[in-house]
Amino acid sequence: MTEGSFSAPPQIHTFDGVLSDFDGTIVDSTDAIVKHWHKIGNELGVDPKAILATSHGRRSIDTLALYDKSKANWEYVSYVEGRIPQEYGSDAIEIPGARALLSALESSRANWGVVTSGTRALVDGWLGVLGLAHPRVLVVAEDVGLGKPDPRCYLLGREKLGLENPGSDSIVVLEDAPSGIKAGKAAGFKVLALASTHTLGQLRDAGADWIVKDLESVEVKGVEGGRVTLEIRDALQ
């Protein structure tokens, strides 16, 4: 299959709400996370490369359970994840277009929120370090019994947005990881994927409805009653 090109004509779509993943979608903290897992791996006596091969898009509590069940508790996970922005803050940058998109969603009082496999301590830390708009709706790792690709995190996001009524399934999920794309699709939502951390083939295979390079291809064109009209530019075709 040919890879295609990021050249699709602009599309306008209106959604009841927008739910976005965080790491790899709003913030690129790859370097920080690599350093974090190297530190944890060394502490556990586990090859960090083995951890990193499966950790992206998964909750730390689920990853740690594979290697040391005594560490797979929220007190420990929140503590170590809370240290990441403090210790490696200079190793993270915002995804291109993220600041403008989040500011537009927040200032227009759109129905939007963040649904992440990270802990509250991690998300709050990065938002503070980078000075990004803080979502009023936030679903974090400790809020759900199962992480992505299970859809319950995104279903909880819809519930927190107050969009549980029949017909309120027109929600778009912003994701970068196959596990998150699968979670969004399993919830019955549309998924716009960013080619920031995985191959185009992986994003396609996971079921993404659109694939873009980054959030500079996504613009808020209007908000009415919380419903969001987005323009999606230069998607993969």
**pLDDT tens, per residue, the chain with 237 residues:** 457 899 999 999 999 999 999 999 999 999 999 999 999 999 999 999 999 998 888 899 999 999 999 999 999 999 999 999 999 999 999 999 999 999 999 999 999 999 999 999 999 999 999 999 999 899 999 999 999 999 999 999 999 999 976 555 699 999 999 999 999 999 999 999 999 999 999 999 999 999 999 999 999 999 999 999 999 999 999
Which H or E run includes 202? helix 200-206
77 found inside a domain? yes
pLDDT at 16: 96
DSSP strand pairing (171-175 vs 112-115): unpaired
Domain count within the chain:
2
- Partners of 15 in the beta sheet? 228
20 found inside a domain? yes
Query: In this structure, are 139 and 34 located in the same domain?
Result: no
User: Helix, strand or coil for residue 194?
Assistant: strand
**Residue 156: CA count within 13 A, CB half-sphere:** 20
1 found inside a domain? no
Query: In this structure, are 108 and 193 located in the same domain?
Result: yes
CATH of the domain at 44: 1.10.150.240
Query: In this structure, are 86 and 135 located in the same domain?
Result: no
pLDDT at 1: 44
Query: In this structure, are 58 and 165 located in the same domain?
Result: no
Positions annotated as catalytic residues are 21, 23
Q: Note the pTM of the prediction, 2 decimals.
A: 0.92
Q: Are 21 and 180 in contact (CB under 8 A)?
A: yes
CA angle 111, 119, 102 (to 5 degrees): 30
Q: Are 180 and 116 in contact (CB under 8 A)?
A: no
Query: In this structure, are 104 and 35 located in the same domain?
Result: no
Query: In this structure, are 15 and 129 located in the same domain?
Result: yes
Sign of CA dihedral 169, 170, 171, 176: positive
- For residue 58, give both structure tokens: 């998964």
Query: In this structure, are 197 and 105 located in the same domain?
Result: yes
Query: In this structure, are 97 and 82 located in the same domain?
Result: no
2 found inside a domain? no
Write out the residue range of the structural domain in which residue 172 sits: 7-29+92-236
